[in-house]
Amino acid sequence: MAQTFEDFKLNRQILNAIDDAGYTQPTPIQEKAIGPILSGQDIMGVAQTGTGKTAAYVLPMLMKLKYAQGVDPRALILAPTRELAMQIEENIKIFAKYTDLRTVVLYGGLGPKTQIAELEKGCDIIVASPGRFLDLYLAGNINTKYLQFLVMDEADKMMDMGFIGSIHRILEVVPRKRQNLLFSATMGDLVHKIAGDFLKFPTVIEVAPQATPAQTVTQILYNVPNLKTKLNLLQHLLKNDEEFHRLIIFCKTKNVADNIFSYCERRYGTSSVRVIHANKGQNTRINSINAFKEGEVRILVATDVAARGLDVTNVSHVINFDVPIVIEDYVHRIGRTGRAYNTGTAITFCNPAETYFIKKIEKLIRQDIPIEEIPEGVFIEETPYNERQEIAKEIDIQKRKENPEFKGAFHDKKASNTKDTKKTKPGKQAKESKESFKERTAAAKKALSKGSFQGNKRGKR
C-alpha cells in the first residue's frame, strides 16, 4: 500500500501541485484507487464525498493525459449538479496547475454561448452535467472521438435526478475503447444496472461499508413535536456561536429553506446567513457558497439538490431541520461535516411523521442515531391543529405504504382533534399525541416510548 504520493510514481508537476495543496498522505480511497486507475483498470468506487474521492480519480487521470493535445477532449467527467461539476473543475485546476491541460465545465441553468466559446478554444477534459453535455454534443459542439476516460461521479444522485436516459445516450456516442470509472456513495439497483452497462470487469473499491457515515461525524437526533419547537431548538443551539461557528441547515423544500433563511436573517443579521436552492440564480448560488467557504457568513441554509457535492471544509455542524425523504441524502448531508480529517456534528430534528424516514435511514446506515433529550430551556410548543392534521395524514400515508389494507386512522381522529385542540396545554397535548401516535405507527412508537415527544416539564420559558 502506498504511504505517500511519491509511491504512485506520479510525475513531478503533479507531485508539486499535491504539495502545494498541502496533502501529505493519500486518503484510503486514494491509496486503493490511484494504482489500479494508473494501470488502466475500470473502477467502481463506493465512497462518499469527504473521503478524497475526487483526487483519487483526478490525479491518475492527469498523469495519464500528461499534456495538452489537439482540440478535442480526451476525458469526460459526468456529475449530477453544477456545484459538483465546478468543484471537480476546481480540483483539476489545483492539480493541473503545473501542466498545460485544459478543462471546460458544462452545466445547464445558463445560456450555452460562453461554454461553446470555451469548447472552441480546445480542451483535454470536460466536466459536465449529463443533460448539458448531450445538448452540446447533439448541436455539434463536441467531438467525442478521442475520449479515453469516462468518469461518473455521484452516480446514485444522477440516477435519483433522472439522468439515466441521458447517460445511456452518452454511452452510445463515446468510443468503445476507453477507461471507465464510477463513483457512488450508495449502491442502489439503478446504480448497479448502470455499472453493469458501463464498466468492464471493474475493480471494486469500497472505503467504508456502503452508506456508512464518515466516522468523524457525531450524530444526534432530537425528537421534536412540531415546527415551532424546531425553531425554538434551533435558536437555542445557535446561541452557542463559539461551538456552532460554521453550519449548514438542510431543509427539504425551497419554501422551508426560504422561511428558515428569513428567520435567521431577522435574528442574526443579513450578513450572517445565505440560502441556496434551485430557484436561486446561478451567480447568487456561487456567491453564497464562496462567502460561506471564506467564512464571511456563519450559516448556509440549503436544500438537498443545491448542496450536492458542496465542498466546504471545517463545517462545525450540519443541522437537518427536516429529515430527508430521499433517505440516501442523509449520508450526503452529514458528509458536509467531518470532512477529510476534521470532526463535526450532525444534528437531526425529527417530528412524529418523520420517524418513519429515520427508521429507514438507520437501516441504510446500519446504525441507530443516538437520541438526545431536548435541552433545558427550549420551550415545547403546542402543535397547532393544522400541523397535527398534516402529521396524522402523513403517518396514515406511511402506514398505507407499508400495509395496503390499512384503512387509515386519520379520518376517525378528525372529530376528536377538532374538539380539544384549542384547550390543550403543551403537556396535555403532547400526551394525547403520544396516545394517538402509539396507535397509528410502530415507528413513531419507539421514539414516543423514549419520552421524547412528551410534554416537557422543563419547558417553561
Interface residues toward ligand AMP, by CB under 6 A:
23, 25-27, 30, 49-55, 311, 313, 339-340
Q: Which three cell numbers stand for residue 252?
A: 427539504
**Min CB(179)–ligand AMP separation in Å:** 19
Q: Which is nearer to ligand AMP, 53 or 317 (CB)?
A: 53
**Min CB(26)–ligand AMP separation in Å:** 5
Residues with Cβ < 8 Å from 232, sequence gap 6 or more?
A: 378, 379, 380, 381
**Residue 45 C-beta-side C-alpha neighbours within 13 Å:** 31
Q: Which is nearer to ligand AMP, 49 or 345 (CB)?
A: 49
Query: β-pairing, 179-184 with 247-251?
Result: unpaired
3-class DSSP state for residue 131? helix
Convert 268-291 to b/e letters by CB count within 10 Å (16 or more is b).
beeeebbbbbeebeeeebeebbee
Distance between CA atoms of residues 362 and 459, nearest Å: 29
**Min CB(90)–ligand AMP separation in Å:** 9
How many degrees, rounded to 5, is the angle at CA 21 between CA 16 and CA 23?
90
Q: Which is nearer to ligand AMP, 53 or 359 (CB)?
A: 53
Q: Which is nearer to ligand AMP, 49 or 348 (CB)?
A: 49
Q: Which is nearer to ligand AMP, 28 or 36 (CB)?
A: 28
How many degrees, rounded to 5, is the angle at CA 415 between CA 414 and CA 421?
85
**Min CB(338)–ligand AMP separation in Å:** 10
**Min CB(217)–ligand AMP separation in Å:** 13
**Min CB(377)–ligand AMP separation in Å:** 36
Distance between CA atoms of residues 444 and 437, nearest Å: 6
CA distance readout (Å), 347 to 225, 229, 262, 278, 293: 16, 15, 21, 24, 20
**Min CB(88)–ligand AMP separation in Å:** 8
Q: Which is nearer to ligand AMP, 153 or 322 (CB)?
A: 153
**Min CB(93)–ligand AMP separation in Å:** 12
**Min CB(59)–ligand AMP separation in Å:** 9
Task: Identify the CA nearest to 30 among candidates 9, 60, 63, 72.
Answer: 60
Q: Which is nearer to ligand AMP, 4 or 255 (CB)?
A: 4
**Min CB(254)–ligand AMP separation in Å:** 25
Residues with Cβ < 8 Å from 309, sequence gap 6 or more?
A: 49, 79, 80, 81, 83, 84, 87, 153, 154
Q: Which is nearer to ligand AMP, 51 or 223 (CB)?
A: 51
Contact 188, 328 (CB under 8 A): yes
Sign of CA dihedral 354, 356, 357, 358: positive
Q: Which residue has the cell 425529527?
A: 350
**Min CB(84)–ligand AMP separation in Å:** 9
Distance between CA atoms of residues 435 and 441, nearest Å: 11
Task: Identify the CA nearest to 83 among candidates 419, 261, 311, 374.
Answer: 311
Q: Which is nearer to ligand AMP, 18 or 350 (CB)?
A: 18
Q: Which is nearer to ligand AMP, 338 or 459 (CB)?
A: 338
Q: Which is nearer to ligand AMP, 318 or 392 (CB)?
A: 318
- Amino acid at site 251: C
CA distance readout (Å), 406 to 211, 352, 409: 32, 19, 9
